[in-house]
Chain A
């Protein structure tokens, strides 16, 4: 076959360009770090209402993401929402009396869990449960209460 070398070069360039594109997509476009299966430990929290919280919603302390929600299910007896969170192992100094609150990022943004560290020197371990929780704010409830108050005045 004629021009074999040119053809080889073109094929080589094509494959190289394709691989560069794959790397570009992985490194520049996506958050590859979250793919690294970092060591995590699981803690749970019970909320009377977990609102729009979803699996993979962020869990943060002071605005820094330290883990993700890994599972949400309902307790059949107490009708509470049980939220399991996978926290990265390097953040293993969360005090036992920390509290969990469900916040909304912005007015219409996604919901996330904010952990407020307490003062205890015992730290949360795998499988532990956060006792102090505050449920998601449901906008309809707030508006309803506000209107009710207005009507009473």
Chain B
């Protein structure tokens, strides 16, 4: 019994210590905005590896998610004779929820894990300590550009996901199933609000991008510098990002759309 309590206390303390380190790390990363502003090339390189390389998986997934929504939505809506509402159904679910959330989950899997592995390996091979020896701040130089790249990429990726998804739904709904083209778009435009839906969706994706990138970078930076440590850190990145994204999604949804 005593042993159990001891373990509980120890793991609680470990977790709080980790949260503290993560917060300090975030502050340190944010100060790196000066370095990023002075060396835009660093940011550009990271935008390439975080954003451009994630582009393909996001657009393809978006297309398929939109097509599935088109099919499923049509099947249900046609029972009620309201196939024209397909546009609003596809667009609302993409813009409000699926766009930001699925993009963030894919982003954590594709870009987040790569960031953790890269930083963790840099630590394991003592490249970060090497920079410190040369009086270069590794957090500002290595971490910050990656953080801001992730932070900037996520809203763009989520918007792309939603756009491609809506076009995918259009392809299936209008192209294959014969929903009227005009009502697909007009129902969407009549019922989606710019501020309530689009802006809130973008805010969500910014928050998710912030959280996912922060977790990925911190796990890499905090990894035990061994092969096993890096592999564990990568796993933790994906798991913790997924938790953070879905948890934050509930809170944000309750704040934005709920009547709570």
Contact = CB atoms under 8 A, between A and B. Distances in A.
Interface residues of B, number: 31
Contacts, number: 81
A10 B52 contact: yes
Contacts of B192: 29-31
A107 interface: no
Interface string B159-172: 11011101000000
A30 B193 contact: yes
Contacts of A21: 156, 159-160, 162-164
Given A30-B189, A30-B193, A32-B194, A11 B55 contact: no
B188 A29 contact: yes
Contacts of A35: 193-195
A25 B99 CA distance: 12
B44 interface: yes
Contact of B197 (A11, A18, A30): A30
B156 A22 contact: yes
Nearest to B192: A30
B210 interface: no
Interface string A3-47: 000011011011101111110111011111011000000000000
Nearest to B43: A11
B202 interface: yes
Contacts of B164: 21
Interface string A121-150: 000000000000000000000000000000
A17 B153 CA distance: 11
A94 B198 CA distance: 33
Interface in B175-199: 185, 188-190, 192-195, 197-198
A1 interface: yes
B189 A29 contact: yes
A7 B50 CA distance: 12
Given A18-B159, A24-B159, A25-B198, 14 more contacts: A10-B52, A11-B44, A14-B47, A14-B55, A18-B155, A19-B156, A21-B156, A21-B159, A26-B194, A26-B198, A28-B185, A29-B91, A29-B162, A31-B192
